[in-house]
């Protein structure tokens, strides 16, 4: 078990590990995180901002652009790009407190970005995961996923981009009337998401990423240290390769991302 006596120890560990896993080949790093293991390994009282900064600084020092989900699931009322908090975890909240953060405008599924190419998240359309979404814009842009303390089996929202582009029959496009505010002014509304159907008895269409994760590992694209069961893993895998593998898997089995099969195709 790693033990970190101070923030320099933590930052050095992440810096060395990111380089070892091959992050230098990428411009964008899309991060999923669960920091419980690393927090428990600190031998000092934790200041959240310094703790998170020690994890992310190595990537920013390498001139990488960080992409982190900041979903708020604001399905009605008002979504304020600068003020509405995320419903997700520690690192997701941290990025929104950074003075130079860029945040996408989608009221349900926004993303925060830091780094030299962070404007990518601002140049998006109204679809959460479809054409001109953050996920769509990351294609062919030298991006990797990095899972920190979070098993790959826990899921990845790239599946919703794949489902929409492959026209999955168990989802449909829904427009939300949420008002989007930006810089204290009404910016827009009518953003959309490809959401689960609710009209099929005995099927909730919940996702399951276990089989998809097995396929990703079997293709040999995951570079990893630590143990995901202990939440100590740092896992890096290529964005475009992951997407191509999962598109192929979906075409072969259109229930690959579901908790149980759906046969009404």
Reported as a single tens digit per residue, the pLDDT across 225-255 is: 999 999 999 999 999 999 999 999 999 999 9
pLDDT, mean of residues 53-57: 98
Overall average pLDDT of the 138-157 stretch: 96
Q: Distance between CA atoms of 7 and 187, rounded to whole angstroms?
A: 40
Percent of the chain with pLDDT over 90: 91
Model pLDDT for residues 154-197, shown as the tens digit of each residue? 999 999 999 999 999 999 999 999 999 999 999 999 999 999 98
Residue linked to tokens 């999955």:
168
Flag whether pLDDT at 263 surpasses 80: no
Model pLDDT, residue 198: 84
Q: In the predicted model, what is the mean pLDDT of residues 103-128? A: 96
Q: pLDDT value at position 1?
A: 52
Average pLDDT, the chain: 95
d(CA 23, CA 236): 8
Q: What average pLDDT score do residues 75-90 get? A: 96
What is the pTM assigned to this prediction? Answer: 0.94
Question: Looking at residue 199, what is its pLDDT?
Answer: 84
176 contacts 184 by C-beta, under 8 angstroms: no
Q: Do 235 and 180 form a contact (C-beta atoms < 8 A)?
A: no
Backbone angles phi, psi at 179, to 5 degrees: -85, 130
CA–CA gap between residue 117 and residue 256 (Å, rounded): 33
Average pLDDT (120-141) is: 94
3-state secondary structure the chain: CCCECCHHHHHHHHHHHHHHHCHHHCCEEEEEECCHHHHHCECCCCCHHHHHHHHHHHHHHCCCEEEEECCCCCCCCEEECCCCCCCCCHHHHHHHCCCCCEECCCCCCCEEEECCCHHHHCCCCCECCCCCCHHHHHCCCCEEEEEECCCHHHCCCHHHHHHHHCCCCCEEEEEECCEEEECCEEEECCEEEEEECCCCCCCCCCECCHHHHHHHHHCCCEEEECCHHHCCCEEEEEHHHHHHHHHHHHHHCCCCCECCCCCCC
Sign of the alpha-carbon torsion through 239, 245, 246, 247: positive
For 57, the token pair is: 């600084």
pLDDT at 264: 61
Residue-wise pLDDT for 9-49, tens only, equals 999 999 999 999 999 999 999 999 999 999 999 999 999 99
The answer to whether residue 265 scores a pLDDT higher than 90 is no
The pLDDT score that the predictor gives to residue 83 is 97
């Amino acid at each position: 078990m790693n033990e970190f006596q101070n923030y320099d120890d933590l930052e050095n560990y992440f810096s060395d590990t990111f380089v070892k896993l091959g992050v230098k080949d990428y411009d964008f790093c899309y991060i999923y995180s669960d920091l419980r293991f690393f927090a428990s390994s600190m031998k000092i009282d934790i200041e959240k901002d310094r703790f998170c900064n020690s994890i992310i600084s190595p990537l920013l020092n390498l001139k990488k652009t960080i992409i982190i989900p900041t979903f708020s699931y604001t399905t009605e009322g008002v979504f304020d790009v600068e003020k509405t908090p995320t419903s997700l975890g520690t690192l997701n909240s941290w990025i929104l407190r950074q003075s130079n953060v860029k945040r996408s405008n989608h009221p349900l599924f926004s993303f925060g970005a830091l780094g030299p190419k962070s404007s990518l998240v601002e140049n998006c359309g109204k679809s959460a995961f479809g054409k001109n979404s953050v996920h769509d814009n990351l294609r062919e842009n030298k991006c990797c996923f990095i899972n920190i303390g979070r098993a790959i089996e826990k899921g990845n929202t790239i599946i919703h981009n794949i489902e929409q582009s492959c026209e999955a029959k168990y989802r449909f496009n829904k427009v939300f009337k949420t008002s989007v505010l930006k810089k204290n002014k009404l910016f827009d509304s009518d953003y959309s998401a490809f959401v689960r159907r609710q009209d099929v008895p005995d099927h909730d269409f919940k996702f399951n990423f276990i089989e998809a994760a097995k396929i990703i590992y079997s293709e040999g694209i995951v570079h990893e240290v630590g143990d995901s069961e202990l939440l100590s893993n740092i896992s890096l895998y290529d964005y475009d390769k992951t997407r191509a593998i999962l598109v192929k898997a979906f075409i072969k089995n259109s229930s690959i991302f579901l908790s149980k099969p759906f046969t009404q195709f």
